[in-house]
Amino acid sequence: MTSAARCFALVPCAGVGQRAGTGGPKQYTWLGGRSVVARTLAALAAVPRLANTLVVLAPDDTQFEQAAPAYNGWVARVGGSTRAATVGQGLAVLRGRGADDDDWVLVHDAARCLLQPAWVERLIDGCIDDEVGGLLALPLADTLKRATADGRVAATVPRTGIWAAQTPQMFRLGLLQGALLQAGSDVTDEASAIESLGHAPRLVAGDIENIKLTWPGDFALATRLLETR
């Protein structure tokens, strides 16, 4: 690992957002006068320690430039059918643009558009000297229930030591690329791939407002949160 390692952001933006009920990719939904993805990218652009941001789009994407007209970072239309495939393709693009194995990659959900630059800085501070890397996350406060197939409680799951993963998730390019290749397409976040190699990513305190827009009600909540800023 080199002391001159750079930090890059990678934003997988190839999903269709079927659960959001927006009638199209949720990242292009308008929220308070701007698209979701434009808000996400503006927050990343305000982090001085990020050398550049790469947005990974679906090969047939025709909406991005109109949805994020102010964005002047890197774009690659190489997204895959899963998040892991999209991130993996994005890592290859970063390597082709000069990123090295030791450089850090901060993978962030396009749909976490309430991101604040200070949270990204907190993650970088917490991981820049770490051997593995880590992610923003929050200790879980709610009681967890495991459900049966017919919608009844099967068991109560102890919440001690349980955290809800957020993004960005920050790992060395070489380590993450190898982890994703080994873990396959079923992993739902980058930390899971790193864990599959036997590593333990660092948990860095996130923020309750760093929500991922997934369900229709999330957009109403995000609108209210924006109005209070």
Q: Where are the domains of the chain?
A: 7-133+166-227
Q: What is the pLDDT of residues 129-186, one digit of tens each?
A: 999 999 999 999 899 999 999 999 999 998 899 999 999 999 999 999 999 999 988 8
- The predicted pLDDT at position 17 comes to 52
Q: Does domain 7-133+166-227 have CATH number 3.90.550.10?
A: yes
> Residue 4: what pLDDT?
77
3-state secondary structure the chain: CCCCCCEEEEEEECCCCHHHCCCCCHHHCEECCEEHHHHHHHHHHCCCCEEEEEEEECCCCCCHHHHCCCCCCEEECCCCCCHHHHHHHHHHHHHHCCCCCCCEEEECCCCCCCCCHHHHHHHHHHHCCCCCEEEEEEECCCCEEEECCCCCEEEEECCCCCEEEEEEEEEEHHHHHHHHHHHCCCCCCHHHHHHHCCCCCEEEECCCCCCCCCCHHHHHHHHHHHHCC
- pLDDT, tens digit, 9 for 90 and up, residues 103-126: 999 999 999 999 999 999 999 999
